[in-house]
Chains A and B, each alone.
Chain A
Amino acid sequence: MTTLRIAHAEPRPGPRPGGGFCTRGYLVVLADDGGRAVPLWLPGAGFLATLLERPAAEVSTDVVPPELAVRLLDAAGAQVTGVDIDLTAAAADKLDPETAVARIRLAGPAGTRAVTADLSLGLALAVAAGAPVRLDGAVLDRVAVPVTGNDLLTPFEDRVPPQARRP
């Protein structure tokens, strides 16, 4: 398994001309340390985007559900040890909610457990818990895109569906 970081979860289409903001989904980009990125279009990644936007040092009382889940698990003596991305369609050459799910790994008094979740929620939980996101190396080889430079967003704007590009 290769550990990935969540580089972006950007709402699209974004600001409206003249003011306002429109969100039809999120362009999420995962990246490894070897110059590869995995772009995903996740319509329901609002909690993930909120968590990524929040400054690391900010202590917010306006928690989103994944943060509450982590607090509740902590009260139960359990921790999220990792979130693995698993393909549900073995031959898939891209990650999206139809082809992949999140397997949330728990450790606690009840032992170690895995809970399957929607990809967006699984990634949000990983951020809330500070847990690593992992992907099978062979799958990563298949779905990753080589990138050069630090811009991990612009090269993948074409992954935003056409209907989500118009504000």
Chain B
Amino acid sequence: MTASQHDQETLHSYLQLDAPARRPRFADFVGALKAVSQQEDPDAARGWAARAVSPLLDYSSLMKLRRYVNGPNAGTGAATNAGTSTGRVVRLAILGGPTTIQLRQLIELFLAHEGIAAEIYEAEYGLFRQEILSPGSGLDQFGPEIVFVATGARDLTRVPPLEADAAAVEQFAETELSDWLQLWETARSRWNATLIQNNFDIPFDRILGHYTLRHPAARENYLARLNRSLAEAAPAFVVMHDLNALAAEAGAAGWFDPRFYHEFKMPCGAECLPGYAHSVVSQLRAMLGRSKKVLALDLDNTLWGGVVGDLGPGGIKFGQGSGEGEAFLAFQRYAKELSQRGIVLAVCSKNDPEKAREPFEKRADMVLHLADISAFVANWNNKADNLRAIADQLELGLDSIVFVDDNPAERALVRRFVPQVAVPDLPEDPSGYIAAVARHRYFETTSFTQEDSARARYYFENTRRKELAAGAPDLESFLASLHMKMKVELINDLNIERSTQLVNKSNQFNLTTRRYTLSEVRGLVENSEWQTRTFSLRDELGDNGLISVILLRKQADALAIDTWIMSCRVLQRGVEQFARNELVDLCRAAGCNRLLGTYIPTAKNGLVADHYAKLGFSPAGSDGASTFWELDVAAAAPLPHFIERDESRA
């Protein structure tokens, strides 16, 4: 083995381990990073270091990694981190009440870990109001896309005096709220920014003790009330970041370190900073539509105790009667709740396929049912291959999967061979499984809609459709057998949230990958130059919900398709053909002669490179990367499909 091979092996073997096993090897890992950085290529070292970034590392270790993630010349102030899979650079401003230097450094690390490239502007501490409100401020010159307002309980300028009565407290709260609303609206109108807004981390040194709860003017009671009002009043362009929940998780006494606050104005204790930065980046990841989407679960000793192949469905440890059985039950309930909020569940198990299903089929006390599991893979293949199969089956990327397995060897194999998949450590005791998954904040979201709660069913039905397709003599008769009905609507108050979510989450079937916030979409709807169409599909097997959104802009004698996105779960169903015919009708009704299309390639949307060609559009040039297309509406014959237009009212 050459020295370089030895370093590579050191790096690989560190990253495939759980956190406790990594700890004694951290120095060796950093040594290998240094060697790689000096001998070969700082970019390679940067990639390795970014992969090692974890919320489970302590502050000093993360700062050590920072040297390699940012390169030797990492300075302070505005900095761009390298390494991106999206090609998009997020312009992020961090405005502190307390000092944000350490927080910003850690945020950079977690962004690098997520492969999110960012240009960061950091304000001097305490100046968040001036930066937003003063024209020509550093922030104004920077022109942020996302503003993180990193404030805390100590940034309130007004608190009611203890003797204030309920009406006076109300007045204080209203004034406070209108100040924050004004800050947000200013950031919105000036830079069209989206905000991440901390709430207040409520201290625990309560002057009135337990009576605090009953006295509106007591500071902690007042802060709790403000937290509620802020969250309720926050418009859609403000994403609330629950700093108070972070403080509670750490234990309020462990969260705030008065020494570091008084001396250096640090927002919390040093060892709480990595979790804080990780939490902010998780919100940011959700805003960019890059939260995890799939929870892939092992079975034996993960969803129940023991090996079902040996013990049979009656012999496994599960459910009431033993503490350990209840712990597995609690973990299944956690998975079930995740599926109810839109996370897709999969099973990835080394098992006999029939035996693996038996507990679900034969035990009445199972919380998870086969219908909750959208992809069920039980065989004797290696789990890296099986996770690839699950990604294919669900038509989702490997980087959207979280894999949970009690066996450290399986975890190591998956980390090594499919590093895109997130693999949390799992403790030996099943009572710790929920916390072990939850602490990574894989599934953060910035909205919750009806579609989310029904998603698991869609994926399950899709699997059944595929089984049907396999049995159907040909695709056409299969499609005809589905009796699909499509509802076409403009974007309206009822579907705007889901439409916006689809616009921001779709990566694969997305022609231009343009992202719009809720208020931007509302602006388009109200703008007479724009047309919007949404498509909702029902069929024999269930309701797919709203699965496609198209945004068009009038340009002289043409309608230009600004955005065309579709959920991948309805690929190969004729939805595109149906929508194209709709657009042709729309064009004619609007008095336009041509329909214009643009394809902007990204790392993820190769699927639709030929989209317009397939729909009969003619090439109309390219600018190197993007291709342009046009369709002469007069000459366009309707494309065949098997979808009936649903004219019923909602």
A binds B: no
Q: Which B residues fall within an 8 A CB radius of A?
A: none
Hey, which bits of chain A sit against chain B, CB under 8 A? none
